[in-house]
Amino acid sequence: MIPELRPAGLKDVAWWEYALRFVFGGVVTAVAGLVSHAFGPVVGGLLLAFPAILPASLTLLWRHEGRRQVIEDARGGRLGSVGLIAFAGVVWGTARAWPPAVTLAVATLAWVVVDVGLWAARFGIRRGRTA
């Protein structure tokens, strides 16, 4: 299944579904902050690789699109998390040695390369065609 953008689908989402996503995202971020305060920024930072609104999104997606789409979105969430871990690894390894702008640029590039590579591997992209 190739990802697609459907802006018209925004009309099908109720206001409370957006509120639920906001609350889930806030709770996950707050938990990451509490863990960071208790165990240090390295441990707390690992939690930030978790897509904050993924639980709410999957629940609501099940309601609107069905189980198959939920499975595909969960796979995408895993790929995104791996890219965020790559981003965090670059920041952790270079933040004290490099200027902030360079660190963030290289970390962002690492995130993009990892996620595009994983996406291409997942969907079997070869020479511009899908397998």
**pLDDT given for residue 131 in this prediction:** 46
CA-nearest of 53, 47, 58, 56 to 84 is: 47
DSSP annotation of 13 reads S
One domain, residues 45 and 84: no
Residue for token digits 């952790």?
92
One domain, residues 22 and 58: yes
Q: What is the number of domains present in the chain?
A: 2
- 79-115 as b/e, with b when 16 or more CB fall inside 10 Å? bbbbbbbbbbebbeebeeebeeeebbebbeebbeebb
Evaluate whether residue 107 is within a structural domain.
yes
Give the tens place of pLDDT for each residue, 1-50: 566 777 887 787 888 888 888 888 888 888 888 988 999 887 877 776 66
One domain, residues 16 and 55: yes
Residue 34: give the domain boundaries. Answer: 12-65
One domain, residues 60 and 24: yes
pLDDT band at residue 65 under the 50/70/90 scheme: confident
Instruction: Point out the domain boundary residue: 37, 65, 93.
Output: 65
62 near 70, Cβ under 8 Å? yes
One domain, residues 61 and 19: yes
Q: What mean pLDDT comes out for the span 85-105?
A: 94
Is the whole-model pTM more than 0.85?
A: no
One domain, residues 83 and 51: no
CA-nearest of 106, 81, 79 to 93 is: 106
CA dihedral 125, 70, 81, 41 (to 10 degrees): 170
One domain, residues 50 and 92: no
